[in-house]
Structure 1
C-alpha cells in the first residue's frame, strides 16, 4: 500500500485505526502485527464483508496456500464491485507467473 504524503495522518496511525475497526466489526484479532500479512489471505476481509452484508461471500477457501488467499481476495473485490459499484480489475491466480 502506498501512503499519500498530503495526508495529515501518518500511515501507522491509519493502519492502526483500520485494524482496530476491522477487529471490532469481525470480533477477530489480526494474525500478526503486520497489517498487510494479516489481510493477505483474504479471510479477514471476507469475514468483514459478511459482517456488513451477511452471507454475501458464500464459501471461503481456508487452505493456507497463496492461491487460496488470492481466491479469497478476488471474492472480496468482486463483492465490492457488485454491491458498491466500484470498478476493480480482478486478478486471476492462473495469470500469475510461477514462482517455482
Structure 2
C-alpha cells in the first residue's frame, strides 16, 4: 500500500470544494469524504444528474451506498475501473492513497469533457498528436542497413571460447 501524501490530499480537498463552490471544512480528509455525500455532490456538479439520490443521513450501510453511487457515476463518466477505489478503502480507511489516486484521475478525466468548465486537478492530459506520412517518406529508410539487423562489419565470435575463458593470443 502506498504511503499517504498529505499535500495531495489537501490539493484534492481544495479542488473538490472549489468545484462545489464551498469552503473546505475542517477535519480529517477521510472523515470529510467517508459518507460519500461530498463525493456525490462533486460528481453531480461535474456531470449534472449523475447521482439521483444522495443519502444525507442514515446507517453506515445507507451511507456506503452513496460511495457506491459515486463509483458507478465516475465509471460512467470515464474513470477507468482500475483507478476506482473499493468502498472499504474509504469507509474502513483501508487504502486512503487509492481514494486520492481515484479523485486525481477524475480531475484529469474532466479535461476530456468540453462541457466541464470548472477547475482541473493534476497534470494536463496530453493532446492527441496524429501524424501522417507520405508513402515516399515511409519507404525512405529501406535503402539503409540497420546495424541492429545483424550486420556487424566483419566482426565475429570465432575464436571466442565462451564465458570465463581467457583470450589466447
Normalised by the size of structure 1, how large is the TM-score? 0.71
What is the aligned partner in structure 1 of residue 13 from structure 2? 19
Unpaired runs of 5+ in structure 2?
88-169
What is the aligned partner in structure 2 of residue 7 from structure 1? none
Mapped partners of 2:20, 2:78: distance in 1 = 20
37 and 2 in structure 1: CA distance in 2 versus 1, 3 angstrom threshold: farther
Contact 1:42 1:72 in 2 (8 A): yes
Normalised by the size of structure 2, how large is the TM-score? 0.44
What is the aligned partner in structure 1 of residue 47 from structure 2? 53
Query: Per-residue deviation at 1:64?
Result: 3.9
Query: Per-residue deviation at 1:67?
Result: 1.2
40 and 29 in structure 1: CA distance in 2 versus 1, 3 angstrom threshold: farther
Q: Which has the larger radius of gyration?
A: 2
Unpaired runs of 5+ in structure 1?
5-10, 92-100
* Number of residue-to-residue matches in the alignment: 85
**Which ranges of 4 or more aligned residues in structure 1 deviate by more than 6 Å?**
none
